[in-house]
């Protein structure tokens, strides 16, 4: 016959296993949700009208007249370059991390 202590140990062990499986499934779902949120925020930022205008200005300046850095700094704002550069640097860091994680 099976005593009460053995039954309680089996039930406790089963509940721990079920809890671990549930936690793993929740973590997987959480990671997917965070990745989706990140992609949506990137699209939101990239599709923003202000960002589009800024990146368009930077692109036009790249194809325009050749200036030294000092002349460019006096003529144009470096904040636009920084905004576009930081966006693409962030994407590059994400790509590098993903490639390293594979």
Q: How confident is the model at residue 14 (pLDDT cuts 50, 70, 90)?
A: very high
Q: How far apart are CA 85 and CA 62, in angstroms?
A: 13
Q: What is the CA radius of gyration of the chain?
A: 27
User: Going by C-beta distance under 8 Å and a sequence separation of 6 or more, which residues neighbour residue 61?
Assistant: 72, 76
Q: How far apart are CA 29 and CA 21, in angstroms?
A: 12
Mean pLDDT on 67-73:
75
Q: How far apart are CA 35 and CA 1, in angstroms?
A: 52
Higher pLDDT, 72 or 7: 7
Kindly tell me if the per-residue pLDDT of 20 is higher than 90: yes
What is the model's pLDDT at position 48? 86
User: Going by C-beta distance under 8 Å and a sequence separation of 6 or more, which residues neighbour residue 101?
Assistant: none
DSSP 13: H
What is the model's pLDDT at position 51? 87
Q: How far apart are CA 71 and CA 33, in angstroms?
A: 46
What integer best gives the mean pLDDT of the chain? 85
Higher pLDDT, 13 or 57: 13
């Amino acid at each position: 016959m099976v005593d009460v202590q053995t039954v309680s140990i089996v039930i406790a062990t089963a509940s721990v296993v079920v809890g671990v499986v549930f936690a793993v499934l929740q973590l997987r779902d959480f990671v997917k949700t965070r990745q989706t949120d990140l992609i949506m925020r990137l699209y939101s930022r990239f599709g923003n009208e202000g960002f589009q205008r800024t990146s368009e200005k930077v692109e036009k300046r790249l194809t325009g007249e050749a200036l030294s850095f000092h002349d460019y700094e006096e003529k144009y704002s470096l904040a636009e370059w920084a905004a576009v550069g930081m966006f693409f640097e962030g994407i590059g860091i994400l790509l590098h991390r993903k490639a390293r994680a594979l």
